[in-house]
A and B are shown apart, each in its own frame.
Chain A
Amino acid sequence: MSATTVDKNSTKKQFRLSKKHVELSFVVLLILVLALLVVAPLITLLCKIDGQAWDTVFHGGQFGKALGNSLLTTLTSTIISVVLAYTLAWAISRTNIKCKGIFSTLLVLPMLIPSISHGLGLIILFGNNGIFTNLFNATSHLYGYFGIIWGSVMYSFPVAFLMFVDILKYEDATVYHAADVLGIPKFQQFLHITLPFLKKTLISVFFTVFTLIITDYGVPLAVGGKVKTLSVLLYENAAGKLNYSAGALIGVFLLIPAVIACLYDFFNKNTEKTSFVSQQFSSRQSKGKDVAGYIICALASLLVVLVILPFCIQAFTVSYPSNMSFTFSHFSETIKQNGLSFLLNSVLMALITAFVGMALSFIVAYCTARMKTKCTKLLHVISILTLSIPGLVLGLSYIIVFKGSFLYGTLTLLILANTVHFFASPYQIMYNALLKINSNLESVGQVLNIPRYRVITDCIMPQCKSSLAESFSYFFVNSMMTISAVAFLATSENQPLSLLINQFESYNMIECSAVVALMILGVNVLMKAIIYFIKKGVKHVNKKSV
């Protein structure tokens, strides 16, 4: 009887099954879109490598040295960056120092300007004609390994700092209390409690910072002098000599650490145990710890300000260091050089990227977090993998695919490249936020006859407001300051402002470079402030309704 009944209702059953198929088809469509935007260009890039590229790269005499330089500077910078970031995160999370908000804001400021600006800041301070070089009448040793390492540390430590601050929030205090009671010395506690707790994050931070530094060409281009790194070699080959196939071959080497990092991170997260905090840290009064905290935070903040402050000085002085009178002439000069239209390009590009990226990351994360189809996992893997593609490599693969097409030279191409380049982090923010929302909401919607789109717009999205704002800001800020993916794709019609820093610097117009860096910093700080007040407003409304 049962079989007959099922047969009788087969048409209706097919209708209901087709709903499942719609979900699957949607996920497959998203996989295809991401594959087209991410995987296809990379494959094209690999196909571009030919025997001549092999000869140019391996027999050109520069590759081996550049590889060595890259490894040496990246490893050194990564170690310094990670140690510095952990020390600062410890000072912010585990001491009773005041003004933690101000210190934290200052410490993440370097994330709001292009990497090349850090090199520029260092040149203003310690370059051949730098403030301190002149002050002490010394010879500059900035250009080369020293400059690359310093600039890379400045540019990368805020990312590690934020990751450490985040993980330290979830450390349980009771185990330290127990250790204190058992009379275990602090150093032993660090070795046997703190380090094992931090192990996975530490590896993750290490890989992230390593990838960030090895793929960056901004700092080594500005202060590298005669020391060439792989990323600079790629930039010179692809952007300077237009030898895309040689660039592609170097790009493959830059992809290796990033892919290892991404895969490690992916599998690491899958095996992560969920732990809960039975007691949060409340730092006990300790004058020694606080003094150490103040010194560490003040020194690091000073270092950050010291690198950023010269932009302001240079941008507003007639001719540094000979004539320190106040002037707006560098702003006028920058505007004359089309700075304003490039700024508009940048803001427009960043705004559209932020909207498109936020929407795409929400849609993809919704599918992976809340739809159970056979292809969901694949979509998740592809989304995370976008993290592993260095901007330079992505830009290069896009120029190979899109040069000559109707998209080349348009803002759309830059928006597309930026959306893909910065996709992974906002995606993860959205994915985590969506996982935390009650998994039965869609079923409730079905039972109460509420269409799914209304469940999403009326119930789920309002609960993700903060994460949506966060991913919008991430796309915007990064699109404003990126110089990697867009370096190959920009033409005079769609050039973003950030690329002007490099151009001005090459014409020795350091003051105008400073103006550009300042403009980018200003727009990004403004955006961060808007997002901060929006998030505060959301919290306030929630509290009010309480």
Chain B
Amino acid sequence: MATKANKKIKLSVKNLTKQYDNENMNAIDDVSFDVYDGEFLSILGPSGCGKSTIIKILIGLVPPSSGQILKDDQDITNLKISKRGMGMVFQNYALFENMSVRQNIEFALKINKSTKATAKDITSSLLEKMHLQELADKKPSLLSGGQQQRVAIARTLALNPDVILFDEPMSALDASTRLELCREIKRVQKEFKTTIIYITHDQEEAFSLSDRIMVMSPAKIVQIGTPSQILSKPANDYVKSFVCDNIAKKIQSLNKIMEKKK
């Protein structure tokens, strides 16, 4: 597929529209965008603007009303979820509460016909890479929010997806844990060379993590660009008020937290 500035397009979303059965308005309306290979793209917008609908359609949990999704030039619009090669970290992590951390990671591997030895090897490697060895035999309910998120990421990475979708993964965490996890997610992206699409309504998260940010107003994309492009040239008053005015204050508070951490 054609590339922009020598970047390979990993995902291409074309004219995606979704109207739910019981609603008159479109949840998303004729949305098109590309995601580059190895890129960290944040989808930023207020609650109810259709961010979650987009990633649910991308992963296959919700069918689109119309439109097309291409991954590595292949049409995956109606492909089975497990065949899409994508992983997802859910808003509240949705860990298997009755299983230990190790079992949480191993479960899908075993079901997906890995041999016992392979499943064990992959799990041990992920436990190590995600710094979870000491927590391996604990139940999720005993872990902190940050630790739970690391388990959720490890569980997703077990099936080796090349695109990971994050659905507002830090909405329930405090500011300092968020900062720690932002670093963790960036590390995972670099180490596993995955493409990440990250949903958030928090400007601070989007600006500190992303290669590019897609700003949404209800059902529509308003602007896509690098953080500096959005800050320097907001597409309209909505972007200016929702993103730029807030981010300046947030960056200041972020700096304060980082100084305290140091």
Contacts and interface: CB of A to CB of B under 8 A. Distances in A.
A545 interface: yes
B75 A5 contact: yes
B97 A5 contact: no
Interface in B49-100: 59-61, 63-64, 66-68, 75, 77-82, 86-88, 90-92, 94-100
A3 interface: yes
A1 B15 contact: yes
Contacts of A5: 67-68, 75, 77
B87 A6 contact: no
Contacts of A271: none
Interface in A1-28: 1-3, 5-6, 8-9, 12-13, 16-17
Interface of A is mostly: helix
A441 B97 CA distance: 10
Given A2-B67, A545-B139, A546-B139, A440 B90 contact: yes
B14 A2 contact: yes
Given A438-B95, A448-B108, 11 more contacts: A2-B14, A5-B75, A12-B79, A13-B63, A438-B94, A438-B97, A440-B90, A441-B94, A447-B59, A447-B156, A458-B107
Nearest to A465: B98
Contact of B97 (A17, A450, A463): A463
B137 interface: yes
Given A2-B15, A438-B97, A454-B111, A447 B81 contact: yes
A323 B116 CA distance: 72
B90 A3 contact: no
A443 B94 contact: yes
Given A6-B66, A447-B81, A440 B108 contact: no
Contacts of A449: 81-82, 108, 111-112, 159
Interface string B1-35: 00000000000001111000000000000000000
Interface in B108-131: 108, 111-112
A542 interface: yes
Contacts of A3: 66
B96 A546 contact: no
Contacts of A450: 107-108, 111
A9 B142 contact: no
B105 to A, nearest CB: 10
A9 B81 CA distance: 15
Nearest to A9: B78
B145 to A, nearest CB: 14
Interface of A: 1-3, 5-6, 8-9, 12-13, 16-17, 437-438, 440-441, 443-444, 446-451, 454, 458-459, 462-463, 542, 545-546
B165 to A, nearest CB: 9
B142 A546 contact: yes
Contact of A440 (B78, B94, B155): B94
Nearest to A441: B94
A545 B111 contact: no
A13 to B, nearest CB: 5
A6 B14 CA distance: 12
Nearest to A448: B108
Smallest CB-CB A-B distances: 7 pairs: A449-B82, A440-B94, A448-B108, A462-B98, A12-B78, A9-B78, A2-B15
A459 B158 CA distance: 18
17 contacts: A1-B15, A2-B66, A2-B67, A6-B68, A9-B78, A440-B91, A443-B88, A446-B60, A448-B112, A449-B108, A458-B107, A459-B96, A462-B98, A463-B97, A545-B137, A546-B139, A546-B142
Contacts of B94: 438, 440-441, 443-444
B138 interface: yes
B162 to A, nearest CB: 14
A164 B87 CA distance: 46
A350 B77 CA distance: 51
A463 B14 CA distance: 41
Contacts of A545: 100, 137-139
A180 B80 CA distance: 62
Contacts of B75: 5, 8-9
Contacts of B16: 2
A10 to B, nearest CB: 8
A381 to B, nearest CB: 19
Nearest to A447: B88
Which residue among A8, A447, A451 has the maximum number of chain B CB atoms within 10 Å of its CB? A447
Contact of B78 (A16, A448, A546): A16
A17 B65 CA distance: 12
Contacts of A2: 14-17, 66-68
Contacts of B96: 441, 458-459
A448 B64 CA distance: 21
A3 B65 CA distance: 10
A3 B59 CA distance: 20
Nearest to A8: B75
Interface string B132-145: 00000111001000
Nearest to B32: A2
Contacts of B98: 459, 462-463
A451 B111 contact: yes
Contacts of A440: 90-92, 94
Interface in B175-226: none
Which residue among B61, B90, B98 has the maximum number of chain A CB atoms within 10 Å of its CB? B98
A16 B155 contact: no
Given A440-B90, A448-B108, A450-B108, A459 B99 contact: yes
Contacts of B87: 447-448
Nearest to B69: A5
Contacts of B90: 440, 443-444
Contacts of A447: 59, 61, 81-82, 86-88, 156
B68 A1 contact: yes
Given A440-B90, A545-B137, A9 B108 contact: no
Contacts of B80: 16
A463 B141 CA distance: 12
A448 B138 CA distance: 21
A459 B155 CA distance: 15
B159 to A, nearest CB: 6
A446 B78 contact: no
A446 B66 CA distance: 22
Nearest to A5: B68
Which residue among A1, A3, A9, A449 has the maximum number of chain B CB atoms within 10 Å of its CB? A449
Contacts of B64: 6
Nearest to A444: B94
Contacts of B111: 448-451, 454
Contacts of B14: 1-2
Nearest to B111: A450
Contacts of B68: 1-2, 5-6
